[in-house]
Amino acid sequence: MKILGIALQKGQLRYSLLDGTKIKPNLILKEKLNTIALDNVPELMDWFETNFLDIIEKHKPDKVCYKITLGPKKEQLFSLIMPLGVLNLICKKKRITVVDYNKLQFTQKKLGLDKSVDLYKKCDEIFGTNPPYWDITQKDSIIVGWLEL
């Protein structure tokens, strides 16, 4: 199963494409896109629609997973939360299952790992380090996909 994992950051859309299994996950690719300016919300949502669609049409994932930020601040609502509404609608229209995860659901147990394991370090171990932009947000996009494998 091919899974698209998505994590947003202010002004950035990060995604990763995974296949394999929970025990043997495989990172096919990862990508960072810069969004347009955040000051015009309708334009920004249009940008997200275009780019979510383009990514889905290009990679044809079987499932889409995304990370949702808990307790967002007001300005984060526009850059981190509202675009996920657009994503859900696109997935519904394209009949692709879409699953959300928040940080509290990033548990080692779900991945068959010991509680002491640092998931972000584990990402380096399993997938190697993949600069540039091999950071928390990028790994978030991987972990949400990994959780669904």
Partner 1 sequence: MNLPTTTFQLGKYKVLRKLGNGQFGYVYEALDMALAARKAIKIIELEKPDELLSTLLEANILDKCRHKNIVQINEANVMELNGKQVVVLDLEYADGGSLSSEMEKRFLSVKESICHISSMLSGLEYAHNQGFLHRDIKPANILVSGGVTKLSDFGLATVPTGKIGSGKGYVSHLAPETLTKNVTTIQTDIYASGITLFRLVNQVSDWHSIVVSQKDPQKLITNGTLLNKIGFQPYIPQQIKRILSKACTPILTKRFHSALEMRQALDKLRYNIVWNKNSPDEWSGADNHNSYTMEKSRSARGVISVEFSKNGRMQSDKCKKNICELEAVACMNNIVMNTTFG
Q: Which residues are at the interface with partner 1 (CB under 8 A)?
A: 33-37, 39, 47, 49-50, 53-54, 57-58
Residue environment code for 28-38, b if the CB has 16+ CB neighbours within 10 A, otherwise e: eebeeeebeee
Our CB check for partner 1 shows the closer of 90 and 142 to be 90
- Would you list the DSSP string of 31-68? EEEE---SS-HHHHHHHHHHHHHHHHHHH--SEEEEE-
Q: How far is the CB of 75 from partner 1 (least distance, A)?
A: 14
Our CB check for partner 1 shows the closer of 57 and 114 to be 57
Q: How far is the CB of 36 from partner 1 (least distance, A)?
A: 5
Our CB check for partner 1 shows the closer of 50 and 102 to be 50
With 0-12 / 13-18 / 19 or more C-beta atoms within 10 angstroms meaning exposed / middle / buried, residue 85 is: exposed
Helix 82-93 to helix 41-59 angle (10° resolution) is 40
Q: How far is the CB of 61 from partner 1 (least distance, A)?
A: 15
Q: How far is the CB of 22 from partner 1 (least distance, A)?
A: 30
Our CB check for partner 1 shows the closer of 4 and 111 to be 4
